[in-house]
């Protein structure tokens, strides 16, 4: 998990994803539509992707590990948490506070 936290803390928004995952695609599209500059680690294409995924599964559980979204170096969660924040109107302020958008 130390490597995951190190990668996640280097940018305002980091997503650990899989290129074939439809929920990952939905979250990446949402952030792109909001104008957020995100850093994406496609775990199925990363040399240490399996190790990173194992660490995420141990940290958050097997059903919510991918996608894993970090904002401001803090794990926010997966698709359900991000969509909930967005629908409640809390995602934009969260992104603004992290310096990820300027709206």
Whichever domain contains 46, its CATH number is 3.40.30.10
Question: What radius of gyration do the chain's Cα atoms show?
Answer: 13
Q: How confident is the model at residue 102 (pLDDT cuts 50, 70, 90)?
A: confident
Q: CA–CA separation, 8 vs 93, rounded Å?
A: 19
Determine which helix (DSSP H) or strand (DSSP E) holds 16, and give its type and residue range: strand 13-17
Looking at the domain assignment, is residue 30 inside a domain?
yes
- Mean pLDDT over 18-42 rounds to 95
Any idea how long the chain is? 103
Instruction: List, in sequence order, every residue forming a beta bridge with 40; answer none if it has no partner.
Output: 15
Instruction: Give the residue from 21, 33, 16 showing the smallest Cα distance to 95.
Output: 33
Is 5's pLDDT higher than 90? no
Spatial contact of 27 and 79, defined as CB atoms under 8 Å apart: yes
- Mean pLDDT over 54-69 rounds to 85
Give residue 1's pLDDT: 75
Looking at the domain assignment, is residue 102 inside a domain?
no
Q: CA–CA separation, 49 vs 16, rounded Å?
A: 9
Looking at the domain assignment, is residue 32 inside a domain?
yes
Q: How confident is the model at residue 36 (pLDDT cuts 50, 70, 90)?
A: very high
Question: How many structural domains comprise the chain?
Answer: 1
Domain containing residue 60 = 2-97
Looking at the domain assignment, is residue 103 inside a domain?
no
Give residue 103's pLDDT: 62
- Mean pLDDT over 52-77 rounds to 88
- Mean pLDDT over 12-24 rounds to 95
Q: What is the pTM assigned to this prediction? A: 0.91
- Mean pLDDT over 30-35 rounds to 95
């Amino acid at each position: 998990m130390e490597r995951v936290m190190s990668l996640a803390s280097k940018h305002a928004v980091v997503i650990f994803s899989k290129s074939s995952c439809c929920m990952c695609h939905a979250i990446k599209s949402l952030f792109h539509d909001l104008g957020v500059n995100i850093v994406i680690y496609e775990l199925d294409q990363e040399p240490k992707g399996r190790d990173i995924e194992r660490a995420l599964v141990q940290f958050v559980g097997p059903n919510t590990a991918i996608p894993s979204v970090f904002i401001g170096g803090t794990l926010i969660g997966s698709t359900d948490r991000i969509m909930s924040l967005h629908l409640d109107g809390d995602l934009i302020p969260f992104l603004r506070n992290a310096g990820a958008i300027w709206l």
